[in-house]
Amino acid sequence: MREPPLRQRSPRVPWRTECPPEPFGSATHWHPSPSETIDDAETTIAEVAAGRPAVLVFYLGAWCPYCNLTLNHYNETLAPALAERDVALIAISPQHADGSRAAVANGDLGSTVLSDPDNRLATALGIVTAPSHEAQQAHAALRFAVKDSNADDTPAIPFPTVLVIERDQTIRFADVHVDYTTRTETAEILAAVDAL
């Protein structure tokens, strides 16, 4: 089996408190339990994928303008191509499930949007971080706090990440962005899907 490419980009802004020392480490063979629930314990990744390969997009939340732009871009460029290939597109954030559903309603997204309310999946993958103390102070000056959007009332968020997973949920491609202003290009995702 081919090992998935993994690329990390260096941050351009002092946003993160730390970079994951080795995201995914041995998680290239991550197999979450089929019964491990997400979205306020209403479903599992396996149920949403319904026996298909899937592209998982971890994003910060509906409050993040970069995330909203990316999800809308993926809706236009990635979702139709994945539908043709019978591959599920699943977006995941730590925000409240209602916030996730609002992202769908407001963006008319062609993907399933789920809540990882305590960052359980993101933690299992080693992609959880939090805004630095300085960033949290800057947010407070704008009368905003990440923790107010998160289901677990913490500022913990996933690094923007795209995974391509097999039907058995083995990771075949992982792209982790330490710089929250960058994202995985549609062409890269489709190339990884076509390599399955």
CA–CA gap between residue 87 and residue 84 (Å, rounded): 8
Q: CATH top-level class for 6-22+33-194?
A: alpha beta
Q: What is the pLDDT along the chain (196 residues), one digit of tens a residue?
A: 344 344 443 332 233 333 443 444 444 445 554 445 566 557 778 888 889 999 999 998 888 888 888 998 999 999 999 999 999 999 998 887 666 666 555 555 667 888 888 888 888 888 888 877 787 787 778 777 777 777 777 878 899 999 999 888 888 888 998 888 889 999 999 999 999 8
pTM listed for this prediction: 0.79
Question: Is residue 106 classed exposed, middle or buried when 0-12, 13-18 and 19+ CB atoms within 10 A define those classes?
Answer: exposed
Domain ranges of the chain: 6-22+33-194
